[in-house]
A and B are shown apart, each in its own frame.
Chain A
Amino acid sequence: SYELTQPPSVSVSPGQTARITCSGDALPKKYAYWYQQKSGQAPVLVIYEDSKRPSGIPERFSGSSSGTMATLTISGAQVEDEADYYCYSTDSSGNHRGVFGGGTKLTVL
């Protein structure tokens, strides 16, 4: 089955740039999406179609994708950005089945 691989944790100081990666064999052909989940809350979409930002998401959140790796970048991370981040995509078989990465815990302190 298709898998997306993320680092379990990333840690930065406030104001630094945080980068979270997501690797998957189908990413050259499929978009990556990123969700933020704060403790006890439902996930929130922060990046769609590799690099687009939904309305209401701060400009410090950006996304990129190259080859088999997608990256979520938080420029000038804030304490309130501390959360779990999940990448999401669909497999390349055309059956629209979704898959999440294992999640990355971002610590900002």
Chain B
Amino acid sequence: EVQLVESGGGLVQPGGSLRLSCAASGFTFSSYAMSWVRQAPGKGLEWVSAISGSGGSTYYADSVKGRFTISRDNSKNTLYLQMNSLRAEDTAVYYCAKDDSYSHYYMDVWGKGTTVTVSS
């Protein structure tokens, strides 16, 4: 069974940094692209970033480009999202999701999410 467990969320001040992690199990991690999707309180889903199976290709939404960095450690079956220069509008539940293939096209399995709150 595919399992994705996010961690690392919490309260951070504007301008601060946070690193999210996603521990994956139940599939060959390095064979699949992975994504981060977020959902602000009471709002819809927003695609944030994706990374190919090898980590060689990365993709970002305009809203986070230059501030967030996606990465992965295939030896640890773990996905990361380094978030810098955080803003109030980054407050959201952040979901880790497994893609259907080696390259990013769409997400087929999601974790339960971790909450990030940016506030002073």
Contact = CB atoms under 8 A, between A and B. Distances in A.
Interface of A: 1, 31, 33, 35, 37, 42-45, 48, 54, 84, 86, 88, 90, 95-103
A96 B45 CA distance: 17
A100 B100 contact: no
A86 B107 CA distance: 13
Given A95-B59, A96-B103, A97-B59, A54 B108 contact: yes
Contacts of A45: 106-109
A42 B45 contact: no
Given A44-B110, A96-B50, 13 more contacts: A1-B62, A31-B106, A45-B107, A45-B108, A48-B106, A86-B44, A90-B106, A96-B57, A98-B35, A98-B37, A98-B50, A98-B61, A102-B44
The prevalent SS among residues of A at the interface is strand
A38 to B, nearest CB: 12
B80 interface: no
Interface residues of B, number: 25
A44 to B, nearest CB: 7
B100 A42 contact: no
A49 B16 CA distance: 39
11 contacts: A42-B110, A43-B37, A86-B45, A88-B45, A88-B107, A96-B59, A97-B47, A98-B37, A100-B37, A100-B47, A102-B44
